[in-house]
Structures are given as C-alpha cells and as structure tokens.
C-alpha cells in the first residue's frame, strides 16, 4: 500500500493506494498517530484503494474517534467495493463519507 500525505496548515489529506489490510493497517495507524496532532480537518482519499479489511476499518475508526475531539474527518472517493464494505459493516453510519 502507498500512503501519500498533503498537509496545508491544520488540514491533512491522506491518499491511499492498494490494499488496506492486516499487513498494511499498522503502517497507516503509525502515519495517523505521528501526524494527527494539531489537525483540525483530516481527509482520507480512497480513490486508489482497492480493498479494506477489518484491520483497516479499525484504523479508520480510531482516527475518527480522535478527530471527533479535535475537528472533522472525511472519507472521499471510495470505490464501489470499499463502499459496500462500509455498508455491510455499518461504518457508513459512523464515518463521514462523501459520495
């Protein structure tokens, strides 16, 4: 999985490419943990994300909990497969997902 970050003031956009699964979730978790302090707006761009597993969902949920306290988090450009995973797991009701 490839992780690209763009920081503009207190806005952080993280673009993911590949698969967010048990092998790559710790990498994303570390990136979020190391970069989230002072962030008011966190955006995950999933345009190039092919798959998300329960381990990946856990990292997104953890980021959402942090951002609930310090700002907002948005997920954008999720493909049909990833959206289906969000729907089946109920995450579509927990996360702020832009169509």
- The per-residue pLDDT for range 38-66, each reduced to its tens digit, is 999 999 999 999 999 999 999 999 999 99
CB half-sphere exposure, 7, CA atoms < 13 A: 10
Binned at pLDDT 50, 70 and 90, residue 26 comes out as very high
The three-point CA angle 11-12-13 to 5° equals: 125
The sign of the dihedral angle between the CA atoms of 23, 97, 69, 31 is positive
Backbone φ, ψ for residue 60 (5° rounding) = -65, -40
The answer regarding whether domain 2-93 maps to CATH 3.30.750.24 reads: yes
Global pTM reads: 0.95
Instruction: Please give the share of the chain, as a percent, with pLDDT higher than 90.
Output: 99
């Amino acid at each position: 999985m490839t992780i690209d970050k763009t920081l503009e003031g207190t806005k952080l956009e993280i673009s993911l490419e590949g698969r967010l699964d048990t092998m790559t979730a710790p990498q994303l978790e570390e990136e979020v943990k190391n970069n989230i302090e002072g962030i008011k707006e966190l955006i995950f761009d999933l345009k190039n994300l092919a798959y998300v597993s329960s381990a990946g969902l856990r990292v997104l949920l953890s980021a959402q909990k942090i951002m609930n306290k310090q700002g907002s988090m948005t997920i954008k450009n999720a493909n049909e497969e990833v959206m289906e995973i969000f729907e089946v797991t109920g995450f579509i009701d927990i996360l702020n997902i832009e169509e």
